[in-house]
Amino acid sequence: TPAAGLEGELLYVGAGGEADYADKDARGKIVLAELSYSPPRPEKTRIATANGAIGLILVNWGDDDNPSVPQGTVKPVWGNPTVDNLHLMPNLPAVGIPRLHGVPLRELCKQGTVRARIVSDADRLWKTLHQPHAHLGAGLGNHFLLLADHMDSWGGGATDNTSGNAVTLEVARVLADHKSELRRDIQVAFWQAHENGIMEGSTWFVDHYWDEIDQGQIGYINIDSPGMKHATRYEATLSPEFWTMHEEVMPAALGYVTAPKRLEKTGDQSFFGVGVPAISGRMEFSKELLERWHGAILGPWYQSVDDTMEVADKEVLAQDIRISTAYAWTLATRPVLPYDFRPNARILRETLAGYAKVADDTLGLAATIDLAKTFEQKAAAVYDRATALQRRFETGAAGGAQDDEAEAVNDAMRQISRTVIPVLGSVVGRYGQDTYGLSALKRWIPALAQVDQLAGKDPLSGDHQLWWGKLVRERNRVTDAVRTLNDLAAAIAE
């Protein structure tokens, strides 16, 4: 802002998502939004800017008297900007305020016109950052598992993310102690600029090592905010090919199982384009506590000076370590990779069928849906072949032809992931990054998320033409991918 600050009428926009602006005129106003992660801060900023707002005030979560000042980035460009997306860097001044102050402001807005003045001072600069990256060479081929977490923090940083650094180090230590039993290499990375840029470190890693990752990385375990005090139950978000593995591994590690949930492209999930299946989980709070804390999934202390050792819990952290080790062990040692593409195939077919219902007849998704149905059958056959092969190892077979067969099946399954993950979870595709928290990413096959824009429009109208031109290309991209999936699956199943 100018030194004297920026003044304007205040407009309360709830969570600050696209739907929250439907009946409001934000032009020339400062918007007041909840910190809630639906959508994340950078997407709130992108949406506020698109709606003509001149400033953004974010109200922290937690109890209504929570005095913590929330910090964090509002930058929608994922990773460093390039000449193509520099224009998406935020120009909107944004500040975070304690819930203690935000709730009265929100109430004032309900009573009449409120004017606000915000004063902020921000830097935008290029810096050299040092990002630790370690290799544990242990495996038979070029395949590796990546364990990572972000090492930068706002405020105290005890549970976000020093506790995550501790989990990664401990899992790596255990794997190193059992190096001779591993079938795959382990790589460990500590991301920079997760919180105070946005995902610069993991994006640099993907850009820099793209080919090595594409050819060899068989999984990614990202650890963020484990070991929080009052957390009682482990919840995991995973790529669909890991859902079956999760249901086997979690009961063995923790004695209970929670349903696997969809992994969205948030956090340091910079590997969706390359198509590396990933896991991100943590011990979470009860529903009752989250309700009281207005959705503070990372605690009322999140990204504030109150994130100290006081809010970390050793017993909770031990649970996070147990389950993370179990996932890593399974991925690093199982002769046949624990992938199951049946959930991916079902989601692909169901999502396309859902889109076909809300699009109009001009898009023509029938052939793509037919291909997806075929992939559903083939994914089942791939699972049967992989499971039978794994059984042979479990009943004593080892070495030689067994290993060669496992490597061939593993490699073909790796390629299926490379093809299906970018289609199911990203708009931009294999080489880039979507803007952070982009609303379309809430849906499966997000590149087709706007097919409903065609319905009810005259096919000869300009508006219809503009949408059709965009969506038909996305349809072609998806069709091409599903056809490739069928070829890859056929090679394993036959």
Q: Which residue lies nearer to Zn ion by CB, 199 or 332? A: 199
**Residue number with CB closer to Zn ion (151 or 389):** 151
Report how many residues bind Zn ion under the rule CB under 5 A.
3
Site string for Zn ion, 316-345 (x = CB under 5 A): ------------------------------
Nearer to Zn ion, 37 or 210 (CB): 37
Identify residues 55-114 at the interface with Zn ion (CB under 5 A).
none
Binding mask 206-225 for Zn ion (x = CB under 5 A): ------------------x-
Q: Which is nearer to Zn ion, 149 or 376 (CB)?
A: 149
Choosing from 20, 160, 185, 284, the residue that interacts with Zn ion (CB under 5 A) is: 160
**149 touching Zn ion, by CB under 5 A:** no
Nearest approach, Cβ of residue 149 and Zn ion (Å): 8
Sketch the per residue contact string, 223 through 252, with Zn ion: x for CB under 5 A, - otherwise.
Answer: -x----------------------------
Question: Residue 161 interacts with Zn ion (CB under 5 A)?
Answer: yes
Q: How far is the CB of 152 from Zn ion (least distance, A)?
A: 9
**Which residue number, 302 or 327, has a Cβ lying nearer to Zn ion?**
302
| In the complex, minimum distance from the CB of residue 376 to Zn ion, in angstroms, rounded to a whole number | 36
Q: Residues with Cβ < 8 Å from 102, sequence gap 6 or more?
A: 32, 57, 59, 60
**Residue 322 class from Cβ within 10 Å (0-12 exposed, 13-18 middle, 19+ buried)?**
middle
Peptide bond into 39 cis (omega under 30): yes
282 versus 418: smaller Cβ distance to Zn ion = 282
Position of tokens 């640099």? 204
Please say which residue, 279 or 382, places its beta carbon nearer to Zn ion: 279
CB of 224: closest distance to Zn ion in angstroms? 4
Cβ 436 to Zn ion, closest distance in Å? 13
Q: Least distance (Å) from Zn ion to the CB of residue 302?
A: 9
Nearest-approach distance from CB 163 to Zn ion, in angstroms: 10
Q: Provide the minimum distance between the beta carbon of 290 and Zn ion in the complex, in angstroms, as a whole number.
A: 17
Q: Which is nearer to Zn ion, 161 or 203 (CB)?
A: 161
Tell me which residue has tokens 């389950």: 323
Going by C-alpha positions, the residue among 218, 263, 260 that lies closest to residue 243 is: 260
Measured from the CB atom, the residue of 161 and 484 that comes closer to Zn ion is 161
**Residues that bind Zn ion in the complex, under the rule CB under 5 A:** 160-161, 224
